[in-house]
Amino acid sequence: MLVFVYGTLTDPTRAREVLDATPEFVADAVVVGCHRVDGDYPTLVPGGTCAGRLLRVQKPDLHRLDAYEGVDRGLYTRVSVPFEGPVGDASAGTVETYVGAPDALDAPGSWSGEGTLAERVQAYVENGGVVVRRLD
Q: Answer yes or no: is pLDDT of 7 > 70.
A: yes
Cα–Cα dist 128/35, whole Å? 13
For the chain, the structural domain boundaries read 2-134
φ and ψ at residue 62, rounded to 5 degrees: -60, -30
Beta carbons within 8 Å of 13's beta carbon, 6+ residues apart: none
Length of the chain: 136
pLDDT in tens, 69-119: 999 999 999 999 999 876 555 555 899 999 999 999 999 999 999 999 999
Please name which of 68, 36, 37, 67 lies closest in space to residue 49, comparing C-alpha atoms.
36
Q: How far is CA 22 from CA 41, 66, 76, 89, 91, in A?
A: 23, 18, 24, 19, 22
Residue 54 has pLDDT above 90, yes or no: yes
pLDDT at 91: 52
Cβ(32)–Cβ(39) under 8 Å? Answer: no
**pLDDT, tens digit, 9 for 90 and up, residues 16-43:** 999 999 999 999 999 999 999 999 999 9
> Please, which pLDDT band fits residue 10 given cuts at 50, 70 and 90?
very high
Q: Which option is the CATH number for 2-134: 3.90.1200.10, 3.10.490.10, 3.30.360.10, 3.40.50.150?
A: 3.10.490.10
Identify the pLDDT of residue 92: 56
pLDDT tens, position by position, 113-133: 999 999 999 999 999 999 999
Q: State the amino acid at position 65 in one-letter form.
A: L
Secondary structure E strands in the chain: 2-5, 24-38, 42-56, 76-84, 94-100, 131-134
**Model confidence at 136: pLDDT above 80:** no
